Structure 1
């Protein structure tokens, strides 16, 4: 009984102090703090033992917390230590943050978490986004999470790793857009993407990889398609991929290069089967080299068609009698055919 009275006394004493300090137009919301013990020296309040804080739609719990005042004596931040857990609840969604340390800035409406941070975004009681990082900052007003240092994120069937990520949440609490920076690695279904920067738009299910990009997709027949380019733009709804800038594609014994290439599925199909190179492009198959203005590759059946100023070259032609054979620095003989269409 004495312990309960002590808790109630600490709660109402701490609440009275905070409400007195917050009785101003500076903040639109009150702060409510409950703890087993609290001390206050005029500049800083220390709360210990089952600390619970409610501010607007945010609820934070931790073993210990510090509330600091600014030069005017008004509280501007709360720091939760020794393992903290913050929850923000929306009508149909909620977000949770766990970390060694969580700092809540009352003035800037921002949450900053440090040390083994973990964030979970939940929609309709179903976990949708899971983020782990060295640190995470949540801008409450803008609904933006910035994660840094060994960032790992899972969303639906997408798994990512990056040095930094900027996650934008919609007003309804669901995922809007994510920007990944620095050594980005993304795995989705049977595709692996590596890039310097990747932007994912969750609303339209669209992903854009930039910088030194490379991707690899495993096909149903067990073979792989590898792609290198400066930019890769994937639209999951239309199942199309547009690549540009130093494009290189490797499929079985095909190696094709060009300024731009598009992957398009057959009509009525969901998987890309056609690769269209636009601009002066080249394709190699074993000892055969073909250069043309346009190249159309198909994977099923495996074939390609070249059009526009076609140049074909064969190397190491079997049965060719090389008169220079045996001499030093022998140049490689070729047979070339050219077809202007």
Structure 2
């Protein structure tokens, strides 16, 4: 059997570890052949490939990014898109099945293709940790570690100048990165998309910290909205899927905090720093396990399923379950953290 492997959507630490785990188990245990599909779904549509063997994945578990490249291509658009054209391309390059590594958009596309008869197994990837069917996805732990270290560093400069530091992290629809990094770094306020807040409440938290002689630290998800806003802050146009490019809410909050409190305030947007660099040990192990488990799913013909972490075990769930809903921060988790605010 010849298996194609692709990575699609936003990159994150751990993608290469999945590729390595799949190739090593597949070649060693089942004598399978592999071919790398370049640049995500674009490679499937246009037949872009690269060799993928044991030698090419050597030492990959610690390497960030993806050796296969990625994109946000819609596989149903263009003259070569759609299930029939893609199947014809796979037949031409000799691919019997696909392992698709990606987030919600990638898995939604994989579901449509498997519904049309293609043989695909999915591996979940998202630093936002927003796939409801899996307890954790690789990339999240690394993103939290990077954000936590950045907040720790910003705290020292904030304390030196008695400034309020507003730190923006990723999180379009969910606030898991902000929640975990904020709690780990001892933030004085954490603002997430699931819990709109008033400017008065944010100022009250900041003022309370300043009154104790401390420098306030506010962590905010890019998708957070004030209770006076109808949509998340966006001034960077649309992405490939016609969604607003988010980013900059920290630049909205910081000057307003300074105007209301008189405390010098600074905004820092971490952005793609959270996606880059080497994966954490946890993400390396989880990604490797998922890659190896994907081979078992291929051998069992479990098409149209995604690997999911449930507790410490890896299980198969249907694509329908995988993309059925977002895993949002529940109110009780936010209230747990909010005890520490101010």
TM-score bucket of the superposed structures, by smaller chain:
under 0.3
Bigger relative CO (Cα 8 Å, ≥ 6 apart): 2
Q: What TM-score, normalized to structure 1?
A: 0.23
> Which structure has the larger Rg over C-alpha atoms?
1
